[in-house]
Amino acid sequence: MSGEWAPPVFLDRDGTLIEEMSYLSDPELVRLEKGVIEGLALLMQRRHPLVVLSNQSGIGRGMFLESDAQRVNARLSDMLQGHGILIMGWYLCPHIPEARCDCRKPLPGMAIAAARDWHLTLPGSYVIGDKQSDLELADAIGATGILLTTGHGRASADRARRETRPVFDDLRGAAEYIGKRDTAAAAP
């Protein structure tokens, strides 16, 4: 790819990068999901910018502070950096669903902000997550949505398969799929 960036990959946090723990606010409880290091390393090798987009309604519900969510993000970032993995941007929506904000997934506000901040192209990008809202975000921005069966993913897996969406057991599988698409796109 000679110095060019590949399409961005937008990643959910809870249930995708880290084990799902309802309303996580304690950085000491952060545990990586299986395949995360291998998957992110593959994506980085292929020059995909990595951006985390996370709904954090626990803030809006008064269960924890935005600073608590940021500390969880910092802990995760430190864990990933220990493996040479860098996340380009971290975005969160602190609102409850009833707030009807434009940043809560599946609405595209966080992805639009990331695209603006980092000069990323949304169409042709990827969204990887464990919920239907992640797949719907992908549709909203012209991306390919990939469902993982980690976290809450099992609940949406049958529907995703009926919709002929890619479904994988972990982030490594999703990264390998993206790598095959990269290779096919680069072929003459």
- Those residues of the chain that have pLDDT short of 50 are 1-2
Cα–Cα distance measured from residue 42 to residue 56, given in angstroms and rounded to the nearest whole number:
27
Omega of the bond leading into 106 within 30 degrees of 0 (cis): yes
**Among candidates 140, 185, 142, which has minimal Cα distance to 46?**
185
Is residue 14 part of the annotated active site? The answer reads yes
- What pLDDT shows up at residue 140? 98
Q: Which pLDDT tens digit goes with each residue over 90-144? A: 999 999 999 999 999 999 999 999 999 999 999 999 999 999 999 999 999 999 9
Q: What is the pLDDT of residue 3?
A: 57
Q: Is 134 a catalytic residue?
A: no
Q: Cα(59)–Cα(95) distance, rounded to whole angstroms? A: 7
Domains of the chain: 9-183 (3.40.50.1000)
Find the catalytic residue in 12, 68, 130, 134.
12
* 129: β partners: 147
pTM, full prediction:
0.96
Question: Is the backbone peptide bond immediately before 49 cis, with ω within 30 degrees of 0?
Answer: no
